[in-house]
Amino acid sequence: MPSAPQQTLPVRIGDWILVPELNLLRHAERNTEVRLEPRHADLLCHFAAHAGEVLNADDIIEHVWNRQVVTDQSVYQAIAKLRRAVGDNASAPRYIETVPKRGYRLIATVDSTADSADSHSPAVPASADTAATAPPNRRRLGLALVLMAIAAVIIAIALQRPGDIERQY
């Protein structure tokens, strides 16, 4: 299942404007567009939400791949594709910096205000399928509630009087 973008409004990242719901990067001055794969748009959203922070491969897999079983190689390939999309270079980065033995950091400036998007950005409609695009925290809350309900049933069964259990059989 594809992961949900953490950001839904356009966000300016360096010279680019990311429109997450369209998986689209627009260059602010050159009037060019780059279509991203959904996972790569999600990765860029995650970087934008944590601009300046070092994110290791485990963190990226947890938040972008939603703990699916993937290798670090998937992260490396996704970052390489993002670098190509924005015209970045790993040896002289302007967007994504590799921090040896620690992870990756978005070093470009990020402006997430709504007016950071150029006036040519279309209005992006809200998704009708909110369950499929729920943020990871909302899914975790739902999982926690289900686990608490299961625990309550187990505790109720364990607290039954021993005679009650014998009469059931």
pTM above 0.75, yes or no: no
What's the pLDDT tens digit per position in 66-84?
Answer: 878 888 899 999 999 999 9
Clarify whether residues 73 and 102 are in a common domain: yes
Q: In the beta sheet, which residues pair with residue 11? A: 18
> Rounded to an integer, what distance in angstroms lies between the CA atom of residue 124 and that of residue 150?
39
| 61 vs 68: CA distance, rounded Å | 7
Q: How many structural domains is the chain composed of?
A: 2
> Which residues does residue 116 pair with via DSSP β-bridges, in sequence order?
none
pLDDT tops 60 at residue 5? no
> Does one domain contain both 76 and 146?
no
Locate 34 and state its tokens.
């780059």
First CA to last CA distance, the chain:
43
Is 122 inside any structural domain?
no
Task: Report how many helices (DSSP H) and strands (DSSP E) the chain contains, helices first.
Answer: 5, 8
Residue 30: CATH number of its domain: 1.10.10.10
Expressed as residue numbers, the domain containing 162 is: 134-169
Question: Is the same domain home to 95 and 138?
Answer: no
**pLDDT tens for each residue of 23-47:** 999 998 888 899 999 999 999 999 9
